[in-house]
With several copies, the nearest count.
Chain A
Amino acid sequence: MRFRVAVGNDHYRVEVKEPGMIVVNGRPYHVDLNKDSLLVNNRSYEISSLEEENGLPTLISVNQELYRLEIEEAEKLAVRRKIERLEEKEEGTIISPMSGQIISVEASEGERVNKDEVILILEAMKMESEVFSPKEGRIKEIRVAKGDMVNTGDVLAIIE
């Protein structure tokens, strides 16, 4: 099975020949993966997959250091690129950066806002976090009110 992997600006061509043999950029490695333990040519690493998307790991820890990967199955490359372009368009969605309570709403629907203008203030664990507008535009919708509890990833507002 072949993959293409990007880590920051670095790119890798990878082929998993069998569970015990992997080729990275043409170089073969003996590997032995046992739950959270990985041996690569007998070097021992503690690994963990922290995030996945469609069965493809996106955040890996190696000896507690984090790596953000973009893995693509070589066959499916073309399809993915199209989806990415679609996602980029909807950059006006403001998503909650953490779980917490809305302690203040600083803007209202219909209002015009600048990039980096404060829209809401969130509180969690005795700390306040301001949530900014990602771009200049008009607030189409604010989905929360003061006092609401929100979870990470909840849509808070939409800028158009």
Chain B
Amino acid sequence: MFKKILIANRGEIAVRIIRACRELGIQTVAVYSSVDRASLYVKLAHEAYFLGGPQPKESYLNMRKIIEIAKSSGAQAVHPGYGFLAENPKFVKLCEKNRIKFVGPDSRTMERVGNKLLARKIVEEAGVPIIPGSKEPIKSNKEARDLARRLGLPIIIKAAYGGGGRGLRRVNRLKELPSLLKVARLEARVSFDDPALYIEKYIRNPRHIEVQILADEHNNMIHLGERDCTIQRRYQKLLEETPSPVVDEKLRNRLGEAAVKVAKAVEYTNAGTVEFILDERKNFYFIEINARIQVEHSVTERVTGIDLVKAQIRLATGERLRFRQKDISLDGCAMECRINVEDPLNDFAPSPGTIRNLRFPGGLGVRVDSSIYSGYTIPLYYDTLIAKLTVWGKDREEVIRRMGAALNEFIIEGVKTTVPLHKAILCERDFQRGKISLSFIERHRLLKRLKVNNRASEKIAVITGCLLAYQNRKGTPLKREKKRENLWRRGFAESKWRRGLKKI
């Protein structure tokens, strides 16, 4: 087993990896940018090294510096988490060159799965269905138009090296095609350093289903069932669950076999995820391979009982898989809500700030993974995920009720979060029945329901306000501190109104 691992990441996933290492008795090396010195993961790690400025390029994307720290600190392996360098073949190569084990697949596999067009080709050859579309990068508007005609509209434009919704455009009418190609190409260049695009047929009311796989370096490979990640906003996952309410045992086996076939075709090792689109008739199509631990791995961990991060580390040492496919059974249901510092009422605008009051939910079946604490200031520079709430239940109904109870207990003050949106999702009849698609949030106009001034407790708010005003007038010393912070919030609310959005 490794004695020391460097974690080339930050936030909740760094905390998650530290926990796994602590259980395995492995020392951890954290790296941090100038705005992350006070982060929880820096406190929990055994060692911590300064990387550079807050911009990812200066810090968490600074490959040479990270390798240098790994070498000087004596780390034998690097765990990349997700995002940043997690799927960067150049970084994997650099690790290999410096004889530092990268916890994930090797650089050859990483290159293969990173190029989406190449991956599509390999997968198609392996006999797994892919969404009809281009086999090579689009070279001209004419080629795109011809292809669009053949596939039938609408179509989707995608970046060859894309991810996270960027470089993605839906084309409904042929005449929009040239301008949308231009925009997507620009985004692809800016975001992924490569303007290559391809085109796929658009699938109506699709669900996003992905399969977790584990593969050792001795040709053993298993799948751990599916995750349904259909609840998204702007192509970003928001809530995930396993099992999917629309996947039965038979479909699960077919999906699992397809995922293993895909992973074998690219000679995959370590933990990974094979993503599929499921159409209304339950046909599935391969989309891409995520060659890393996913945010939503926690739901699979709960129903399989397998610690995926520990498994990743063990597999990276060359250990053989400890389970065969027949040893895997799925116990009950698990669901994850991503708690992001975003304002669902304001077009999901990021809401960085200082956590003033914090209470995590607890009790049976409730897991919290988070990097925040009371008094912590969330920096502006990184993604908005601050906590993952994972809940287990015997069946989907129990999960939904328990998740609702847990969200009601959750208090985060000082920033705006997706907690109210999650509550609204859980209350939706169609969600409870499992009738969802990628456009669920828009279609159910959930954002419109997240109004301030819900009538239910309006009178209580009035009573609270007047009692506090009374106390302030009578002079209670406690209140003074609060005022300063409140100015900040006031400005925020005001600007919304100024922008012409609805007054909150």
Contact = CB atoms under 8 A, between A and B. Distances in A.
A/B: CB atoms within 8 Å of each other: yes
Interface of A: 1, 3, 5, 7-8, 10, 12, 14, 16, 19, 22, 24, 29, 31-40, 42-53, 55-69, 71, 73, 91, 94-101, 116, 124-127, 129-132, 134, 151-153
B179 interface: no
A95 B18 CA distance: 41
A24 B383 CA distance: 41
A126 B234 CA distance: 14
Interface stretch (B213-221, B290-298, B480-488): B480-488
Interface string B453-486: 1101111111111111111110000010011101
Contact of A65 (B43, B47, B454, B463): B454
Interface stretch (B223-231, B265-273, B281-289, B346-354): B346-354
25 contacts: A1-B469, A5-B462, A5-B465, A7-B462, A12-B462, A33-B468, A34-B37, A37-B42, A37-B43, A47-B464, A49-B482, A52-B479, A52-B483, A56-B465, A57-B465, A60-B468, A66-B453, A67-B457, A95-B494, A97-B499, A125-B350, A125-B487, A126-B350, A127-B495, A129-B498
Interface of B: 30, 37-38, 42-49, 73, 341, 346, 348-353, 357, 380-384, 408, 410-411, 413, 419-420, 452-454, 456-473, 479, 482-484, 486-496, 498-500, 504
B463 A38 contact: yes
A68 B504 contact: yes
Contacts of B44: 44, 46
Contacts of B413: 48, 50, 61
Given A60-B465, A125-B350, A125-B384, A12 B492 contact: no
A97 B467 contact: no
B498 A95 contact: yes
A80 to B, nearest CB: 14
Contacts, number: 249
A53 B420 contact: no
Contacts of A5: 462, 465-466
Contact of A116 (B49, B491, B500, B504): B500
A71 B466 contact: yes
A44 B467 contact: no
A48 B384 CA distance: 24
A153 B498 contact: no
B408 A64 contact: yes
Given A8-B453, A48-B357, A64-B408, A99 B465 contact: no
Nearest to A129: B495
B498 A94 contact: yes
A7 B350 contact: no
B452 A44 contact: no
Contact of B460 (A19, A36, A45, A95): A45
A152 B488 contact: yes
Contacts of A61: 413
Contact of B47 (A3, A44, A47, A94): A44
B43 A36 contact: yes
A75 to B, nearest CB: 11
A106 to B, nearest CB: 15
A99 B380 contact: yes
A138 to B, nearest CB: 18
A150 to B, nearest CB: 11
A44 B466 contact: no
B376 to A, nearest CB: 10
A42 B49 contact: yes
